[in-house]
Amino acid sequence: MSYMEDLFHVTRQHVLLAVREQHEALLVERLSALDAGPVHYRVGGRLPLATTGVGLVLLAFAPTAVQNDAIAAYAPEEGRLRQGHDDIRTPADLRRALAEVRRGDHAFGRQSNPWPVDTVAAPVRNGGEVVAALSVVAPSTGFAEAGYGPAVRATARAISRRLAEDGGPTARPGDAHASP
């Protein structure tokens, strides 16, 4: 939590932490400035994997079967704009986006519906395995990736190092490195 608080104080935007639960992202924590733009996300809520920053990170590092299911199920919503990343419109776009996330070790996205926001998300690892995703969601201003990207990635790496030092979230009370 202290790492998320530091990121929050730097960005003064929404800071989200999510984990993958089957074919959805589960929001486990959110910090939000009073003057940050609106978001529909709430702690304990579920987010789609294919249309959110944290979801794309979690999906990019999910088992191949989960990725294939998400890509196969991805279809444009008829009659209205899809809520999600503006540049992911087809299953092929999603496949390319996931490859970019794995290559760059982060996701960046811009969405205009229901209101314009940018997101930058990065993986949190425990021993190399992606166990969560951290992101900043901010009003679209054109600088979120450059401005917030390095801070999000550095914070995700710091949390990952801490998990490795503490034995991670799967440590049991009897383990040598388990957290108190």
Residue 29 belongs to domain spanning: 2-166
pLDDT by residue (tens digit) across 118-172?
889 999 999 889 999 999 888 776 555 557 888 899 999 999 999 988 875 554 3
User: Is there a domain that residue 43 lies in?
Assistant: yes
CA distance 60 to 38: 26
Q: Answer whether 96's CB lies under 8 Å from 58's CB.
A: no
> CATH number of the domain that 27 lies in?
3.30.450.40
CA distance 85 to 52: 7
- At residue 3, φ and ψ (nearest 5 deg) are -70, -40
Specify which residues 149 forms β-bridges with.
none
Task: Specify the number of domains making up the chain.
Answer: 1
